[in-house]
Amino acid sequence: MRMMCRFFIKMVLRCKGKTLFDTSIFEKYCIFAQNLNMMKRFGIIAALFVMLLGYSNKVSAQFFQDEPNMRGKITTGGGFAFGLNFHTLNLSVAPQVGYRILSPWEVGIRGIYNLRCNFAYREYLHYVGFSPYTNCQIFRGLFVHVEYENLYGFARLNQESVGGEWYRSVFVGGGFRSSSYGGGYFIMVLYNLSWDYNKFNNEWLYPYGSPLVIRVGFCF
């Protein structure tokens, strides 16, 4: 979309080699339009989620009568990942805390820290951020999940900071939780609606290698 805006600006606003207006204003408008489009997409998903919640409440009352009511309970958990391969290191820590608005419906926030190291080239990529989320159990441990991730990435090359950019993504998907009312594990498969193939090919700091994400963690 930004490329289309720039093309329109050059074709319409240039006259005899001179620009009639400041193109930076239109570029800022293009960025704003991209963010607005993402928020509209998230709003549609949220509306569908609320509709699904009504169905989930009926299912919960019918199938989960033997489980305690989790309404008003605070949940904690998160995930941890570690990988080491010759000259590279990958580390990920993502604690989370949630609140059960209703017994099957949870809202919360994740903290995120990812580290990628290449010791041979002395490259250290850091990603820090947060991610508000909501999920809703639909049937015996199965749940749907929506998340809006805000991730800031920067690099350290030869003891100097390089780059620095925010990456915002909308994730949708679902998973399985081993226990809806106590300690247990969860596994999720999510799809990144904001994944950008051009950034993946052209930006070495881009944090997402694929639109598909698999997460495994624990909840208490």
For the chain, how many residues are written?
220
For residues 120 and 142, the model is more confident at: 142
Report if residue 104 sits inside a domain.
Answer: yes
- Provide the CATH number for the domain around residue 190: 2.40.160.20
Residue 37: phi, psi to the nearest 5?
-65, -40
Question: What is the reported pLDDT for 130?
Answer: 97
Report if residue 95 sits inside a domain.
Answer: yes
For residues 34 and 206, the model is more confident at: 206
| Site of tokens 């820590």 | 93
Report if residue 18 sits inside a domain.
Answer: no
Question: What is the reported pLDDT for 17?
Answer: 47
52-78 confidence digits (pLDDT tens): 555 545 555 454 544 567 777 899 999
For residues 105 and 163, the model is more confident at: 105
Query: What is d(CA 179, CA 77) in angstroms, rounded to the nearest whole number?
Result: 13
Question: What is the reported pLDDT for 13?
Answer: 43
Q: How many domains, in total, are found in the chain?
A: 1
Report if residue 59 sits inside a domain.
Answer: no
Q: How many CB atoms lie within 10 A of CB 18?
A: 7
Report if residue 90 sits inside a domain.
Answer: yes
> What is the span of the domain harbouring residue 85?
66-219
pLDDT band at 86 (very low <50, low <70, confident <90, very high): confident
